[in-house]
Structure 1
Amino acid sequence: MNSAKSAFHALHHADRPLLLPNAWDFASAAALAAAGFGAVGTTSLGVAAAGGLPDAAGLARDETVALARKLVRLPCPVTVDIEAGFSADPAQVADLVVELADFGVAGINLEDGRGDGLADPATQVTLIRTVKRHAPGVFLNARTDTYWLGVDASVPATLDRARRYVDAGADGLFVPGLAAEKDIASVTAAVPVPVNVLHLPALGLDRLADLGVRRVSTGSLLFRSALHATLTTALAVRDGLPLPVGIPTYAEVDALSHQGATPG
């Protein structure tokens, strides 16, 4: 396991939960790395929407790989959301993860959501096992969409899937939509790998740590916030209102592109 991959694994066992911000292009990821975040992830919604594609439809493979190739220049571990793997063939998904690992990606998210439903657990187990067999050093964050899609949204159903995925080799469990404190505590107590939840405004990192959470993702929040800031600024220009404070300068943004660049 290379240093970036081992460092990323270790971040899930630190004193506080890993706060993982999710980027959608190189500039957003570089800004987050420059701000001192220990690792950067990608948001599938942001990557897909920026490319004019719907999220979770399995259409953004090329955009995801192209972005990942750029992000590994950054001075921190990178984990990539690959939706459901962009293929129904476990071997093809494993080939994708091997490709990502070969150029330095430290982790992936791999979800069991399939449109409006969930993958058969046995099918997802085969997928996870195949990926881990071919790319054992990559941190595989197994996402289950029981709560996110409102399908079998209960602790017992979630734990049934979680245990199967962990037995298949998953390094972490991601349960987006899991929000009730008692449910979070029940899941973290029963799962022997780091549990990941989405940022919850009502629960800070310290409280989530008390509940046993080891990783907190921003998901699509930063991308959606950036769209809001874009519209807010454009409307301010149109309507003659003051511009928002804190806008980076041209030079500051241009400097981000030089992070990790190899001299020609």
Structure 2
Amino acid sequence: MLDRIRSRFRRKPSVKTLSPDNIPQHVAIIMDGNGRWAKSRGLPRVAGHHSGMKAVKRVTMAADRLGIKYLTLYAFSTENWKRPKSEVDFLMKLPQEFLAIELEELIANNVQVRMMGYKEGLPSHTLQALETAIERTAGNTGLVLNFALNYGSRKEMMDTVRQLCQEAAEGHLQPGGLTEADFEARLLSGGMPDPDLLIRTSGELRISNFMMWQLAYSELWFTEVYWPEFSEEHFLEAVSEYQRRARRYGGL
């Protein structure tokens, strides 16, 4: 409802209306609502996941055209293993299908593919598709398309704490001199800047164990639109809203 009200009173954003000097460097997206989108159309949940791949393509190309440097997509969480096996099996096939169709175009557009998550437990066909894409795009210098797959922020932070404790026990660092930069460098997102903007679709208002350290000062934008319906126009609206906000980081 709020999205519809806003759209009536605002001019729809376009690439031309956005300020080129205030484009977010890193956008993260929680792609939510695939199952509900399918259910609303009398389709099985997996049909929603399949349609969601088209939204991934739309948003990736839109981010690339805007000059965004990093796009992180929450594709599968460490909690998603609790879903029915048939749905999990289908989700594990999607990276292979998506990359089989889109990889050549991603390469042509200088997009670099990365994965942020835990390889343990992922099927070999899923890993092989991702590792092939990562290897073939490693030299690309454009948009970084980062798939958060089998990712969970609490596990990420606990693993980072364990690593730091181990390094301290071995004498490689002094706990008293530990900095935020030391912690960030050991996170799965190490080497990437924190997201400037988080988008979540489907009307849910939470971050669901996603990049909790990295999102400390991110701008949050929520929409009721289900992920399969998420268009370039919606993406531009989110960036436009980001540009209207003042980021103070605790200052004035």
Shorter-chain TM-score: what band?
0.3 to 0.5
Give me the TM-score of the superposition, normalised by structure 2: 0.41
* Bigger helix share: 2
Which structure would you say has the larger RCO, counting Cα contacts within 8 Å and 6 or more residues apart? 2
Give me the TM-score of the superposition, normalised by structure 1: 0.40
